[in-house]
């Protein structure tokens, strides 16, 4: 049975890092919204060209276009044995459309990583990323900039411009307003699991792996109850 995972959680919860770890461990692709948009634009497909035109105008890509991009990405051969979605869906409308795409596939496992807001703010204002590949530098904080390079590509490290405390607080407010309803949408499913993201990364990874195994036997009806 293919392993199909959605990774939910607010900014700073570690969902990108944990999605990448799980993808490597399972040999399936980690697919983020940014990855999908870049791939679609690079491929020059009809939907990719539509997305490029929208982004060039400085507008947000609509749910309709994003769903088309997701459909194209999940139809690629490397996703046949499963995938991990990071950053999609972002709205209940996108989640409902994804359910329709999944009708002929194995069930979705939904992992929601939960971290207290005070800890999220602390993490985000001290977060360091690579200038070249965009990877979060685990175990590195702003005091280490200049003395440490990216472990993945050797690039220079920097703080993100949107990781100031005021901007972080606004991002968390937007998450609660726009993305938190997704948790309510998925919560009643047998394949939904909540993970304590305040624990050390290795412990969180172990909890996610255990949750994934538990949900695989629970997903007899594509993860939907009722």
Query: What's the CATH fold of domain 3-115+192-216?
Result: Rossmann fold (3.40.50)
Active-site residue 127, yes or no? Answer: yes
What is the arrangement of strands in the sheet containing 192-196, beginning at the earlier edge strand? Answer: 30-32, 82-86, 3-8, 108-114, 192-196
Catalytic residue (choose from 26, 52, 71, 90): 90
Which two three-digit tokens encode residue 8?
Answer: 């939910």
Domain boundaries defined on the chain: 3-115+192-216
Q: Which of 15, 21, 73, 189 is catalytic?
A: 15
Q: What is the pLDDT along the chain (226 residues), one digit of tens a residue?
A: 899 999 999 988 999 899 999 999 999 999 988 788 888 888 888 888 888 888 788 777 888 888 988 998 999 999 999 999 998 998 899 999 999 999 999 999 999 999 999 999 888 887 778 877 877 777 666 666 767 888 888 888 887 665 677 888 888 888 888 888 999 999 999 999 999 999 999 999 999 999 999 988 765 544 443 3
Q: Indicate if 90 belongs to the active site.
A: yes
Look at residue 222 in the predicted model and tell me its pLDDT.
45
Q: Among the options 123, 171, 189, 193, which is catalytic?
A: 171
Catalytic: which of 50, 123, 127, 189? 127
pLDDT at residue 139, as a whole number:
66
Identify the pLDDT of residue 160.
Answer: 66
**Is 171 annotated in the active site?**
yes
Rounded Cα distance between 193 and 22, Å, is 15
Catalytic residue among 71, 160, 199, 216: 160
Beta strand residue intervals within the chain, DSSP E: 3-8, 30-32, 82-86, 108-114, 129-130, 157-158, 192-196
Supply the pLDDT for residue 63: 86
Q: Do 17 and 201 meet the contact criterion of CB atoms below 8 Å apart?
A: yes
Q: What is the pLDDT of residue 35?
A: 80
Known catalytic membership, residue 173: no
Other Cβ atoms within 10 Å of 193 Cβ, number? 20
Q: Let me know if 176 is a catalytic residue.
A: no
pLDDT in the model for residue 194: 96
């Amino acid at each position: 049975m293919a392993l199909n995972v959605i990774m939910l959680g607010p900014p700073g919860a570690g969902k990108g890092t944990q999605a990448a770890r799980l993808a490597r461990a399972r040999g399936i692709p980690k697919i983020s919204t940014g990855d999908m948009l870049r791939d679609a634009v690079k491929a020059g497909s009809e939907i990719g060209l539509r997305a490029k035109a929208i982004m060039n105008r400085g507008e947000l890509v609509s749910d309709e276009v994003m769903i088309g991009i997701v459909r194209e990405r999940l139809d690629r051969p490397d996703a046949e044995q499963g995938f991990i979605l990071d950053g999609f869906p972002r709205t209940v409308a996108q989640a409902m459309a994804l359910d329709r795409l999944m009708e002929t596939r194995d069930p979705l496992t939904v992992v929601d990583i939960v971290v207290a807001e005070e800890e999220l703010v602390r993490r985000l204002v001290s977060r360091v990323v690579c200038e070249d590949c965009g990877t979060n530098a685990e175990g590195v904080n702003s005091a280490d900039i200049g003395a440490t390079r990216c472990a993945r590509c050797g690039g220079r490290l920097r703080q993100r411009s949107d990781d100031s405390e005021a901007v972080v607080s606004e991002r968390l407010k937007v998450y609660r307003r726009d993305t938190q309803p997704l948790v309510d949408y998925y919560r009643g499913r047998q394949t939904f699991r909540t993970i304590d993201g305040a624990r050390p990364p290795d412990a969180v990874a172990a909890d996610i792996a255990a949750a994934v195994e538990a949900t695989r036997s629970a997903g007899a009806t594509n993860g939907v109850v009722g």
